[in-house]
Structure 1
Amino acid sequence: MLLGLWVAVLAFAGPFAGKLGDVQRDRAVDYLPANADSTQVAKIQEKLPGGETTELVLVYHRDGGLSAADRNTAADQVAAVERELKLVATPTGVASKDGSTLMYPVASTSPGTDEEKRDAFVNDVRDVVKAPEGPDGTDGLSVKVGGSGALATDASEVYTSLDGPLLYTTVGVVAVLLILIYRSPLLWLVPLAVAGVANYLSMGVAYGLNQAFDTPISGQSSGIMTILVFGAGTDYALLIVARYREELRRVERPYDAMRTALRGCGPAVLASSGTVAAGLFCLLAADLNSSRGMGPLGALGVLCALVAMLTLLPALLVLFGRRVFWPLVPAFGSEPKKRKSLFQSMGSSAGRRPLTVLASGAILLGALALGAFALPGNLKQEDSFTSKPDSIAAMETLAAAYPERGTQPISVIAPTDGADRALADARGVPGVDSAERGRSSGRWTEIAVVAKAAPQTAAETATIERLRDKLDPRGAYVGGPSAEQIDLKDTNRRDMWVVVPIVLAAVLLILVALLRSLIAPLLLLLAVVAVWGASLGIAGLVFGPVFGFEGTDPGLGLLSFCFLVALGVDYGIFLMHRMREECLAGAETGPAALTALRTTGGVIASAGLVLAATFAVLTNMPLVQLVELGFVIAVGVLLDTFLVRTYLVTSASLALGRKVWWPGPLSKERRPPREPEPSEPELVRAP
């Protein structure tokens, strides 16, 4: 019956899952802060005549200087662009001082707000503007198309291309790890297939939410959802399968063994998924659109994985019976081989000197966290790709050829009735090279401002801030690519102060409800926060020197915190819940901690490896922000799995003893049962 229900669900969700890519949006406004000036500019530009402007820069360059033939080629191609495509104004060429470069700013409103039309316009321009080949002396001429529109198109193409490779690579990595973990030709297929079903279901539900509530879906958020479905879902499967295998040795019928297994590990799985979902839902409090949109989609993926692993996975395992474990079949009444495991050895070493182990681990994590001060500065647009697309090459050429002036406009949107005063004020701001009035509607007028400084430099940032200070009383907004980067930095700083406390409070409440304690949840939270700091520290040591990254994504701190806290607490839940079970059965806290580590250590290690590997898939993607996020989370999960859970949490539990369960009933000293007092012998009257 349960399998039939899943067939019906997939049949219903199937048509919607295939449409998820159709509603995926990767516009600038989908990644910007909701209330920032630059976001308001982007929204208003969409409503101006012709819609949002697509701005390009055509770059002609030759080492040693452009020839007359080069300039004629440039003029002919620009004329063809103006003749064949709808432009805002006639392009005017600007030559560099050394004569090696000639740039033509080009703007069009024909694409409107449709990304496909924008990309089509950019590609049409690239079809016309390209280096000619032949014996006419133009060999060696470099022709590139840059600007914010070309950058957006290249980024959109990258996000669109992520879906297939990301999914296939994730499935392949999980499959290899499951084969190594289970050492069975059959068993690994079951959790992997169930995870695939959960991913398919999450895609269908995500599309439905988009249609019903206009939930934003971007390439980044949909990719993270896939990672979470396979990573978290496989973690839950590992815990359920391990407990099921354990019960099959005690219970004869697979159905009864599965019931017992779910009764034992079900609360831990529910609490685990609850912490991840709660932590991700907290991102709704973020002002950054990309972070706020990722929260519900990531939580949806985790919940779909939970439902599949608690219903479909047990049904399939019971259906296949014990033979699914072949060749290591857990026979009824059998005992597992008695051998000293790695985690038993680790527990023994932690048990001998728990305070020493705890202090050493804390010092190590603190030292690693210091590396966070070495993280490179904010990531610039031209540094956001691991490879070098055409638009990035164009921007690098412009930066080298025009160090003394801006090469991309700053967009100002002013009320139409005060546009003339705003234009005069903008021209008088120090650092402004020129300002021209652009399109106008009944309420708003666009002003294009060019700074004297190069894009995304400290000097241009100062110019933008002066523009905002000067024009704010006029009711004007200042936006554009450089202003967007400033707003991203400021908003991420604000979101850290708002979202982080909410995440900690939500996860703490779930842990308190599960463990019936206050000390144990605080211990787990402190551990995952330490892991987060150490992970960022390791990133600071390798991002620049090893990976060659020129900057750090402004959202890395918040996103990595939410993921590492929510996902890291998972393993603490697995360990602490088993420890609590042992204590409820009568064991003291010390032996219970060692037993929990011995019985769950292998599962936690396997789950950690799978989760780290799935996020490590992101490090193979062509976007720096995805590589950075995947690296930090993968390193954090490994630290959490093999250092914090095995040594530090176990050592802290041994050192605290019963106090770890304070103020719950398990923290109370147990009194031995009182022996009944001997009763007085009853006197019997003699006959």
Structure 2
Amino acid sequence: MAGGHGFSGAGRALGRLVGPRVKWLVVVVAVLVSAAAFAFAGEPKAVSTTAASLPASAEAAQVTALREKLPSSGVTPAIVVYRAASGAVDTQAVEASGDRGIAAVKQWAPSAAAAGGAPTTAIPPQVSQDKSTALVIVPLKADLPDGANSEAVTALRAAVRDGLPQGLTATVTGGPAFGADIGAVFDGADIKLLGATAGVVAILLLITYRSPWLWLVPLSVVGTGDQVASKALAALSRFTEVSADGAVTGITSVLVFGAGTNYALLIIARYREELRRTEDRHEAMRAALGSAAPAILASGGTVVLALLSLGFADDPFAQSLGYAGAMGIAIALAYALLVLPAAMVLFGRRLFWPFVPRVGTSDPSHAGVWRRVGDVVTGRPVVVGLAAVAVLVTLALGGLGLSVGQSPNEQFLEKPEAVVGQEQLAAAFPAGTSEPATIIAKASAAEAVTTAAQGVEGVQEVRKAGGGGGGDLVELSAVLAAAPGTTQAFDQVRALRTAVHDVPGANALVGGSDAEALDARTTTERDRLVLFPLILGIVVLVLLLLLRSVVAAVVLVTTVVATYVASMGASWFAFQHLLDYPPLDVSTPLLAFLFLVALGVDYNIFLTTRAREEAAGGAHAREAIVSALAVTGGVITSAGILLAAVFAVLGVLPLVQLAQIGVIVGFGVLLDTLLVRSVLVPAVVSLLGERFWWPSHPADR
């Protein structure tokens, strides 16, 4: 039996839940638990558009915390950009429009006292040097939940456009507008993702099983598990700091659907195999679970532990995704190992119609295409192995020049109004006008800090912001020449920080959107240094416990890391030359590494645990890996294609980060399934022979 004693014991214990009477109890309990989750989980905690996205230790986060102590706290500016089709803007029309805009958002606007003197009537517009563009700032409450913020921005956009003369356009941008446009991306996203994912899974299951109804059982079980995970995440968000925003919910759903379906495919494949040996379907499922459960538990445990390791990240988004994803995978495991086997045996062999497995019939996989692939690979392992390595190296070279860091304008696949407004501002005003840097310092050093900031190259203007300050603190606003989110903007933030930090006794700190983006980049760089080796260590540990082989663990981990590097290279080449995508989001390399290493090792676990079973029966390492490839090749290939397709579904949401994660992970899973697992690993095992299992000897068991 493959795996450690704990994994094997769990497989035998699970087999007791598919007896003639127990199976009904399992299904009924699953229905009741699922119904309770749907009925009592409630809605997720509302998330403010200004929710912390950085660790408290980051300088930009410290600035945000200090601003809350100032009279101007609780204020965030929406910016209305007016642009004339020709000639100069009509300032009277702009002022009238600004009055309408402020009147429309009165219920979402701060009071004058809370805003540190922010006006409740239109601010005189700022007009560009060429007179073609003007802007009006409309203060909104900074702590509005997503829904209220979206309502405020929608009302503002409608009001400022009402009654504009022909040839004058109004566009709303700024932080609240970006928050509303990002929120619009996820409007109905759960339904869209669920529909697209379920559709993809249904089609692929129908193709895999060629049965008019077999696919309905795993799809129903996994789909129910996905919805239970979604409800559990909503409940978790209300009692913890875990966010249940659209990105976390969407990625978690993809993980649950993809992993759950993979586990279902493996169980059903082993069940069908056992039905050719055993007349009693309950005994067949017990045997199938005894063989498949250790690999599935090891695989799922690897993913859960790797996701939980994100709890050591400083990035709050990564932390939320880690906890949410780990909970989702645990639920997927429960539904796959507890509910699916019981549901399958309810219907008996007729569920596989028209290809019903009969006792005594031979398994066609033993002499199928994957048996022939195994013979070819192990017949010339050096040539085939080197060819596979050459493919991986070639793909990896596509990552030369890989760039990380998206500006706010680059995060959408479809350009929303907030981005259009930013571009109009950048064309008419200093690039940093809409997103100035924020400086918080001791009030007694305000003049010295202002002088130091004005001396920094690229700083266009320094002025008091909002109410100017309060108590012993002062808030300054510094307009940068560089466009927000660019390398030049980060350089100017670094220079600005250096300058104000050097002012004696000022205790000056620099925040703002560019400072937040810079700190986010620094945070994710730190997270990669910590989490890459931690995730690899988790994977190695699980492989050692499962296979009891140091050599096998090192080989398999090396192959999945190679898959990650190759997938990143190939995807970056595609982003730059085929899809015209911007640089990667700062969190994408870490998330892609996590998914490809933790999920990619699944297929190697499924292959090598089966090979260990064959070796325990006396087969030589070469014959063991060929036999394992022959019987698992079809199901693992189906699982890999399905998982890649499920990740590709992330592209239905028009956010660049999710689309990039979908491409990188989807391609990496296909690469791992079709090349690494089916060609490279068998070639390496054939070359190493019995040394692959060192220091254990499977045949001794």
TM-score, normalisation: structure 1: 0.91
Distance 2:620 2:26 in 1: 41
Alignment counterpart, residue 480 of structure 1, candidates 495, 512, 530: 512
How far did residue 376 of structure 1 move? 4.5
Q: Deviations over 1:286-345 (max 9, x none)?
A: 111111110011111111000001111010111111111111111223223478422122
Counterpart in the other structure of 1:464: 493
- Aligned pair partner of 1:560 in 592, 595, 598: 592
Question: How far apart in 2 are the matches of 1:181 and 1:8?
Answer: 30
The residue type equivalent to 1:79 in the other structure is: D
Structure 1 position 356 matched with structure 2 position 383: yes
**C-alpha separation in 1, matches of 2:249 and 2:50:** 17
1:481 is displaced (CA, Å) by 1.5
| Matched residue, 2:688 | 656
Aligned mates of 1:290, 1:486 — CA distance in 2: 16
The answer to whether the Cα contact below 8 Å between 1:131 and 1:143 also exists between their aligned partners in 2 is no
Q: Give 1:370 shift.
A: 1.3
Q: Pick from 422, 428, 435 the counterpart of residue 463 of structure 2.
A: 435
Query: 1:623 pairs with 655, 660, 669, which one?
Result: 655
Q: Which residue of 2 aligns with 1:64?
A: 86
Preserved contact between residue 658 and residue 667 of structure 1 (Cα < 8 Å): no
Alignment of 1:310-349 (within 5 A): 310-337=337-364, 340-349=367-376
Q: Tell me by how many angstroms 1:113 deviates.
A: 4.5
Q: In the superposition, relative to structure 1, how do residues 412 and 114 fare at CA in structure 2: closer, same or farther (>3 Å)?
A: farther
1:55 counterpart = 2:86: no
Note the 1:533-548 alignment, pairs <5 A.
Answer: 533-548=565-580
Deviations 1:244-276 (A, max 9, x none): 001011111111111111001110000000111
Aligned CA distance change for structure 1 residues 667 and 529 (closer, same or farther; 3 Å): farther
Residue 115 in 1 paired to residue 146 in 2?
Answer: yes
Distance 1:59 1:232, change over 3 A: same
The 3 A distance-change label for structure 1 pair 338 and 159 is closer
- Separation (CA, whole Å) in 1 of partners of 2:513 and 2:126: 21
Q: Which residue of 2 aligns with 1:643?
A: 675
Q: CA deviation at 1:430?
A: 3.8
Q: Residue 577 of structure 2 aligns to a residue in which SS?
A: coil
**1:562-620 C-alpha deviation (Å, 9 max, x unpaired):** 00000000000000000000000111100000000000000110100110010000122
**Which segment is superposed worse, 633-642 or 445-454?**
445-454
Task: Tell me the residue number matched to 2:98.
Answer: 78
Aligned ranges for residues 42-191 of structure 1 at < 5 Å? 42-46=64-68, 48-49=70-71, 51-67=73-89, 70-83=90-103, 85=106, 86=109, 88-89=118-119, 91-108=123-140, 110-130=141-161, 132=163, 138-191=165-218
| 1:224 aligned to which of 251, 256, 266 | 251
Q: Which residue of 1 aligns with 2:12?
A: none
Is the 1:277–1:302 Cα contact (8 Å) retained in structure 2? yes
Tell me the matched-pair count: 660
Contact 1:59–1:102, Cα closer than 8 Å, also in 2: yes
Question: In the TM superposition, what whole-angstrom CA distance separates every residue of 1:458-497 from its partner, at most 9, and x where no partner exists?
Answer: 4432331122223346333322211122112222211111
Maintained 8 Å contact 2:189/2:653: yes
8 Å CA contact 1:408–1:455 kept in 2: the answer is: yes
Task: Give the one of 509, 514, 525 matched to 1:493.
Answer: 525
- State which drifts further: 377-386 or 597-606: 377-386
Superposed counterparts of 1:227-238, under 5 Å = 227-238=254-265
C-alpha distance 30-164 of structure 1, shift in aligned 2 (>3 A): farther
CA contact (8 A) 2:226 2:332 kept: yes
| Distance of aligned partners of 1:584 and 1:416 in 2 relative to their CA distance in 1, 3 Å threshold | farther
Match of 1:586 in 2: 618
Question: Structure 1 CA distance, aligned partners of 2:501 and 2:522?
Answer: 18
1:504-562 Cα distance to aligned partner (Å, 9 max, x none):
00111001000010111111111111111111111111112222213221111111000
Which residue identity lines up with residue 6 of structure 1 in the other structure?
A: A
**Aligned 8 A contact 2:437 2:512 in 1:** yes
Q: 1:246 aligns with which of 273, 287, 292?
A: 273
Distance 1:415 1:200, change over 3 A: farther
Q: Give the whole-Å Cα distance in 2 for the aligned partners of 1:443 and 1:228.
A: 49
* 1-structure distance, mates of 2:63, 2:251: 29
How far apart are the structure 1 equivalents of 2:547 and 2:480? 58
Instruction: Measure the CA separation in 1 of the matches of 2:68 and 2:321.
Output: 24
Task: Classify the secondary structure of the residue corresponding to 1:349.
Answer: helix
Structure 1 residues 337 and 565 mapped into 2: Cα distance closer, same or farther (>3 Å)? closer
Mean CA deviation greater in 472-481 or 576-585: 472-481
Given that 1:54 and 1:148 are in contact with CA atoms closer than 8 Å, whether structure 2 keeps it comes out as yes
Superposition deviation, residue 141 in structure 1: 2.4
SS at match of 2:398: helix
Per mean C-alpha deviation after superposition, the further-off stretch among 486-495 and 253-262 is: 486-495
Aligned AA for 1:32? L
Partner SS, residue 372 of structure 1: coil
Q: TM-score, normalised by structure 2?
A: 0.89
Q: Report if the CA contact (8 A) 2:365-2:631 is conserved.
A: no
Counterpart of 1:516 (choices 544, 548, 565) is 548
8 Å Cα contact 2:381/2:687 also seen in 1: yes
Q: Deviations over 1:652-685 (max 9, x none)?
A: 00110011111112499x9xxxxxxxxxxxxxxx
Q: Secondary structure at the match of 1:304?
A: helix
Aligned to 2:223: 196
Q: Which runs of 4+ in 1 moved over 6 A?
A: none
Note the C-alpha offset of 1:46: 4.8
User: What is the DSSP-based 3-state SS (H/G/I as helix, E as strand, rest coil) of the residue aligned with 1:373?
Assistant: coil
Residue 675 of structure 1 aligns with which residue?
none
Kindly indicate whether the alpha-carbon contact (under 8 Å) linking 1:111 and 1:121 is maintained by their aligned counterparts in 2. no
State the distance in 1 between where 2:303 and 2:322 align: 10
One-letter identity of the residue aligned with 2:101 = V
Larger Rg: 1
Q: Which moved more, 1:333-342 or 1:603-612?
A: 333-342
* Aligned mates of 2:365, 2:557 — CA distance in 1: 34
- RMSD in angstroms over aligned alpha carbons? 2.3
Structure 1 residue 47 displacement after superposition: 5.5
SS at 1:129 equivalent: helix
Which of 387, 391, 397 is equivalent to 2:424?
Answer: 397
When residues 111 and 434 of structure 1 are mapped into structure 2, their CA distance, relative to the original with a 3 A threshold, is: closer
Who is 2:477 aligned against?
A: 448
- Rounded to whole Å, the distance in 1 between the matches of 2:573 and 2:37 is 45
Q: CA deviation at 1:98?
A: 2.6
Partner of 1:674: none
2:49 corresponds in structure 1 to 27
Asked whether the equivalents of residues 402 and 572 of structure 2 are also in contact (C-alpha less than 8 Å), the reply is yes
SS in 1 for 2:435: coil
Q: Following TM superposition, by how much is the alpha carbon of 1:2 offset from its aligned partner in structure 2, in angstroms?
A: 1.1
Tell me the amino acid that sits aligned with residue 11 of structure 1.
A
CA contact (8 A) 1:2 1:312 kept: yes
Change (3 A) 1:153 1:462: same
Provide the C-alpha distance between the structure 2 equivalents of 1:6 and 1:43, rounded to a whole number of angstroms.
Answer: 46
Unaligned runs of 5+ in 2: 1-24, 111-117
Alpha-carbon distance, 1:49 to partner:
4.3
* Partner amino acid, structure 2, of 1:78: G
Q: Is the 8 A contact 2:242 2:319 kept in 1?
A: no
Is the contact made by 1:25 and 1:219 (CA closer than 8 Å) also made in structure 2?
Answer: no
State the alpha-carbon separation in 2 of the partners of residues 529 and 609 from structure 1: 20
CA deviation after TM superposition for structure 1 residue 51, in Å? 4.7
